[in-house]
A and B are shown apart, each in its own frame.
Chain A
Amino acid sequence: MMSKIVRTQANFLYPLIMIFGFYIVAHGHLTPGGGFQGGAVIATGVALIAVAYSYKNVKTWIKKTRLTATEAIGLLTFIITALLGISRSFFYNWLANTGLLFGQPVPYGINPGYLNTAGTLPIMNFAVGIEVLGGLGVIIMYYLHYIKEVSKNAV
């Protein structure tokens, strides 16, 4: 448990970090960044909460089993999305230019920022994002689990 200043700052910064991370994941096929970078930024928010509060509180908010399930769901989504195009080839982009989800045709030249394009790439970005979030979150939670809080130094 840190001081009240740190906890207030963490409460203020946590939603902003979350929004920025999901922005990076959602714009992965348009701007720099993608699934891995966005997932790392989201895991930074989880780490901020884990640093600012005591383990007793964090344990009730963030469950390790749920993070492991998140990681597994991300990997499964990635593999299933790749396998759905197996009639042509593995990782075939079966959603592009179909008019369905993420299937808007792209104009010639540089993409002017249409989010609803690129077929299966945004889905795979989201899958990698929540997989990285689960993996790094599990690392942080296990790290926190084995630390006995020393009360004599007031960090």
Chain B
Amino acid sequence: MIFESLLQILLLAGLIISAYLAIRYKDLLACAVALGVFSFLLSLEFYILQAPDVAIAEAGIGAGLTTAIFILAIKGTSRWEVEE
């Protein structure tokens, strides 16, 4: 029980850190990877909350497909965020 609570606290801290990094980075490729880490941690959280079905969908679509689509979009535009 203690272990599960500790793991949840670690996962939520990791979620907040990865979301903050996705906003702060100027390198958009690093932002896409940070969002992939966010989705992966979110799928682990779903698994701990006993929804393995949702966890598989989140890992497949959130961490896999969305990251690939972001990387394809970066391929077609610019890699660095431009200051207005």
Partners in one complex: yes
Of the candidates B53, B69, B78, B80, which one forms a contact with A33 in the assembled complex, judged by CB atoms under 8 Å apart? B53
Is A48's beta carbon under 8 Å from chain B?
Answer: yes
Q: Would A149 and B75 count as touching, CB distance under 8 A?
A: yes
Can you name the residue of chain A whose Cβ is closest to the Cβ of B77? A150
Q: How many residues of chain B have a CB within 8 Å of chain A?
A: 22
19 A–B contacts, CB within 8 A, in A order:
A32-B55, A32-B56, A40-B61, A41-B56, A41-B60, A47-B64, A47-B65, A48-B64, A51-B68, A143-B72, A144-B72, A147-B72, A147-B73, A148-B76, A150-B75, A150-B77, A155-B71, A155-B74, A155-B79
Q: List residues of chain B with CB under 8 Å of any chain A CB.
A: 29, 52-53, 55-57, 60-61, 64-65, 68-69, 71-80
Q: List residues of chain A with CB under 8 Å of any chain B CB.
A: 24, 32-34, 36-37, 40-41, 43-44, 47-48, 50-51, 136, 140, 143-144, 146-150, 153, 155
